[in-house]
Structure 1
Amino acid sequence: MNRFVVISGCSGGGKSTLLAALAQRGHAVIEEPGRRIVREELAGGGAALPWVDAEAFARRAVAMALADRTTAEGLDGWVFFDRGLVDAAAALAQATGEAVLEPLGRAYRFHERVFLTPPWPEIYVNDLERPHDFEAARAEYERLLEVYERLGYAVSILPKIDVAARAGFVLEALEI
C-alpha cells in the first residue's frame, strides 16, 4: 500500500492547518511547493509567481514536487503532502497546454485515497502568498477534483469541521 497521502483542494480551505495537526500527531508532512516558491520569489524579487509567470511557477513546482517525493522516500511511516506533484502538473498543463499531467500523474502514484478541502468562504483569506480571489480558488478546486478523479484516485471531500475532527476523519479513512 502506498503511504504517501495527498491533501489538496481549494486554496484557503484549511489544508495547511490540517497538515500541521497531522504533524502534531507524529506524522511526516511535506509543505506545499507553491507556498515555498512564492516565499522564495517574493524574498528574492523573482518573477516565478503564479500571477506573474504561471509557466515558470508551475515548472518550479513540478521540479520541487519531484524532489519532495524523493525526500519522502527516506521518511518512515505515513507521509502527508500539502498538494504536490499532481497539483503542480495540473498547473503546468493549464499554463502551457502541455500533456504533462497524465504521464507524471501515472508514473508517480500516491495513496489511492486523496483528500480535498472544499471551497469554504467562511475561512478563506487572502495574504501575500495568496492574492487571488475566492472565485479563482473555487475554479481551481473544480479543476483539481476533475484531475484526481480522471487519474483514478478515490476522492474524499473533507467535511467543514474543526481541525482536530478533520485530522481524525483523515486518519480514520486511512485506518491509521
Structure 2
Amino acid sequence: MTKIKINNNFFVITGGPGVGKTTVLKELENRNYKVIPEIARELIREQNQNNGNALPWKNKELYKDLMFERSVKSFEQTGRTENKEKPVFFDRGFLDAVCYAKLIGSEISEQMESYAKKWRYHKNVFIFPPWRDIYEKDNERKQDWNEAVLTFEKMTETYKNYGYAIIEIPKMPVNERVEFILGLIEQTTPAE
C-alpha cells in the first residue's frame, strides 16, 4: 500500500466512552446521513454472545487487532459503495484502534502505521469531551470515569499526531450538537 487515499467526505466522530456520540450519530441517521456504526461495540457484543476472548477485559491484543482489522475493512467498503459528495459519519475511525494500542502499551504494527498515514478521513475530526453528567457504564462500556478522561486525552493526541485538526464538540443538547457539526461541514465544503 503506497498510495495516499483521502476521503474528504468521511467524518470521524470520536472521544472517550459515554460522551454522547451514539446519540448524535442516531440523530444524524434520522436526518438521512450515512452513519457507519462503531466497530468496538459490535465486536464486544459479538464476543459476549459467543463467549469469545477478543474483549478488552480478556485478551486486549486480540481485541485491538480485530478492532483495527474491521475498522479498516469498514473504511474500505464504505469507500467503494458511498457517494463521494455526501458526508459519511464514522462512529470512531481505525485510528481509535491505534489509540487503544497506546492505551494498553501495545506495539503499533507497520501495517497500522501505514494505514494511519495513507488512508485518510476528512482533516477535521469531531471529538466529544468527557461529560460526567451523561457518563454511564453498561455491558460494553466498563471503563471508570478516569479511564474515560484518559481515553479522550489519548484520542486527541493520537489524531493530532497523524495530522488531523481536532474540533471539540460543545456540551449541549443533541440537536444543537448536530447543527454544530453540520454547520462546520458546510463551512469546509467548497461551494459548487
Does the alignment reach a TM-score above 0.5? yes
Q: Which of 42, 45, 62 in structure 2 is aligned with 1:36?
A: 42
Q: Which has the larger radius of gyration?
A: 2
2:146 aligned with 1:163 = no
- How many percent of aligned residue pairs carry the same amino acid? 34
Q: Aligned pairs, how many?
A: 176
Alignment of 1:117-156 (within 5 A): 117-156=128-167
1:24 alignment partner AA: N
Distance in 2, matches of 1:98 and 1:120, equals: 29
Unaligned 5+ segments in structure 2 are 1-6
2:11 aligned with 1:5 = yes
Contact 1:31 1:82 survives alignment (8 Å): yes
The 3-state SS of whatever aligns with 2:120 is: coil
Moved >6 Å (runs of 4+): none
With the length of structure 1 as denominator, give the TM-score of the two structures.
0.95
1:87 aligns with 96
Contact 1:59 1:92 survives alignment (8 Å): no
Contact 1:93 1:99 survives alignment (8 Å): no
Contact 1:102 1:151 survives alignment (8 Å): no
Q: Which of 107, 121, 135 in structure 2 is aligned with 1:110?
A: 121
* CA offset digits 1:101-141 (Å, max 9, x no partner): 54221111000100000000000000000011111111011
1:113 alignment partner AA: N
With the length of structure 2 as denominator, give the TM-score of the two structures.
0.87
1:75 alignment partner AA: E
The 3-state SS of whatever aligns with 1:66 is: helix
Contact 1:115 1:156 survives alignment (8 Å): yes
Q: How far 1:84 sits from its partner (Å)? A: 1.8
1:98 alignment partner AA: I
The 3-state SS of whatever aligns with 1:174 is: helix
2:81 aligned with 1:72 = no
Contact 1:5 1:110 survives alignment (8 Å): yes
Unaligned 5+ segments in structure 1 are none
Q: How far 1:38 sits from its partner (Å)? A: 0.3
2:107 aligned with 1:97 = yes
Bigger Cα displacement from structure 2, 149-158 vs 83-92: 83-92
1:24 aligns with 30
Distance in 2, matches of 1:16 and 1:4, equals: 17
